[in-house]
Structure 1
Amino acid sequence: MTQFHAYQNRNPASRERYPYLLDIQSDLLGELRTTVVVPLCPADLAENMRLSHLNPSLEIDGRRYVAMTQELAGIERKRLGKTVHDLGSYREQIIASIDFLMSGI
């Protein structure tokens, strides 16, 4: 598992709303059984609840997704689907959204 990679959401109950899960946990903690993820929601489903600092817009295969940072969660690594995209180019926006969630700044 790699930090800032998006993985397929294998959970049938939430997969339609959140097709991808963004792993935000440091690679230094790769030996842990769990990781912390941010659900990614298609932009057309998330527009009415989007705050720019909290919910950065990311692109996967030409489609826009919104990082639902306020819904971050811990998940067992084995529950993640296959990796679909490296979102490391959005590192600053992702970290800023986590910081905004925690500090309000």
Structure 2
Amino acid sequence: MPQFAVHENKNHDTKKTYPYLLDIQTDLLSDLRTTVVIPLRPLINAGKQTLTRLCPILTIRGRKYVAFTQQLAGIDRRYLGKIVADLSAARSDIIAALDFLVTGF
């Protein structure tokens, strides 16, 4: 599964809040059963976001979603649904958010 692919969230407990999951794990580790994802929530339901550096706003299928980088998680790939978008064009913003989360810069 390609890095920066956006998947439908198949987890019944979380898919209403986070309909999409952004796979950020390198393709070099695609043989692992797990992957690291950032949950994506519709901007309209995200509340006030002041840390756009940590939580970039991304467009998927013409709608805006907030990447909740601080909630990244390792999950079993079985919770990844079909791929609905490729956000590799937003790579710089996504990596910057991860950098900010880990280093504060």
Same fold (TM over 0.5): yes
Q: Percent identity of the aligned residues?
A: 54
Quote the residue 1:24 is aligned against.
24
Secondary structure of the 2:99 match is helix
Residues 79 and 101 from structure 1, CA distance in 2 versus in 1: closer, same or farther, beyond 3 angstroms? same
1:80 corresponding residue in structure 2:
80
Number of residue pairs matched by the alignment: 105
| C-alpha displacement of 1:47 | 3.4
> Where does structure 1 differ by over 6 angstroms across 4 or more consecutive aligned residues?
none
TM-superposed CA distance for 1:82, in Å, is: 0.7
The residue that corresponds to 2:4 in the other structure is 4
CA distance in 1, matches of 2:15, 2:50: 19
RMSD: 0.9
SS in 1 for 2:46: helix
Structure 1 unmatched ranges of 5 or more: none
Normalising by structure 1, we get a TM-score of 0.96
1:45 corresponds in structure 2 to 45
1:49 Cα shift? 3.7
